[in-house]
Amino acid sequence: MLAIIEIWVVIGDVPSVVGDCLVLAISLSAALFVHVSRQVNFAANWLVKMAVRRMSPVGWVAATSLMCVLGGMAKSYFKQEHDLEKRRAEAARIRDKYPDRIPVIVEKAERSDIPSIDKKKYLVPADLTVGQFVYVIRKRIKLSAEKAIFIFVDNVLPPTGAIMSAIYEEKKDEDGFLYVTYSGENTFGNIIPLFQ
């Protein structure tokens, strides 16, 4: 098992042209937004992620609900490969041995064109934020700077500032693991023509 000890690098703000697109996306009706999302799924997903950073908790719930409407995440291959009792015993053993760490299973979404991750099982410090964990995943898959990455827990895009221990307590599986699915699309060069 690999213990994650990384430092998160804060990335700059969104370019102004994308900010203008964001305002347009927020003003769209839910039905139109879902229609646009189905036409250009990656662009809409990216806009929802940007909107989540700027919305109130009510807006975050609406945005994450839209993400669920846009398409569900894949089934866990880890769950298919290992029976429930084996997973439950492993998670309990890990939590007993490392009480300040969270056992996380990271898997790529089925239809994503993002690179696959080399390891699925991670021991994450309880005080790590979602944003810091995204940075760790980005480094593990050697994702270039112009590519976006989205992580989902139980088909919901968690806030980047949320602490992993809080996400774990709310969303852990019955086996004791937290399942994270990641996905991504090339955003730059594709999102701007959508609104021209």
Instruction: Say if CB 195 and CB 24 are below 8 A apart.
Output: yes
Q: Kindly report, residue by residue over 84-93, the tens digit of the pLDDT.
A: 999 999 999 9
Domain limits, the chain: 2-7+74-183, 16-72+189-195
- Give dist(CA 63, CA 50) in Å, integer: 10
The DSSP element (H or E) to which 194 belongs, if any, is: none
Instruction: Say if CB 193 and CB 42 are below 8 A apart.
Output: no
DSSP β-bridge partners for residue 179: 105
For 12, residues 6+ apart whose C-beta sits below 8 A from its C-beta are none
Q: What pLDDT does residue 50 have?
A: 52
Q: Kindly report, residue by residue over 23-70, the tens digit of the pLDDT.
A: 333 333 333 333 333 333 444 444 445 544 444 444 443 343 334 333
pTM, full prediction: 0.59
Our measurement of the distance from residue 181's CA atom to the centroid of its chain's CA atoms, rounded to an integer in Å, reads: 6
3-class secondary-structure state, position 81: helix
Q: What pLDDT does residue 149 have?
A: 92
Instruction: Say if CB 74 and CB 109 are below 8 A apart.
Output: yes
Q: What pLDDT does residue 185 have?
A: 57
DSSP β-bridge partners for residue 125: 101
152 phi and psi angles, rounded to 5 deg: -125, 140
Q: What pLDDT does residue 14 have?
A: 33
Q: Would you identify the CATH topology of the domain 2-7+74-183?
A: Ubiquitin-like (UB roll) (3.10.20)
Task: Encode 49-82 in three state secondary structure.
Answer: HHHHHHCCHHHHHHHHHHHHHHCCCCCCHHHHHC
Q: What pLDDT does residue 74 have?
A: 52
Q: What pLDDT does residue 112 have?
A: 87
All residue ranges of the chain with pLDDT < 50 are: 1-48, 51-73, 186-196
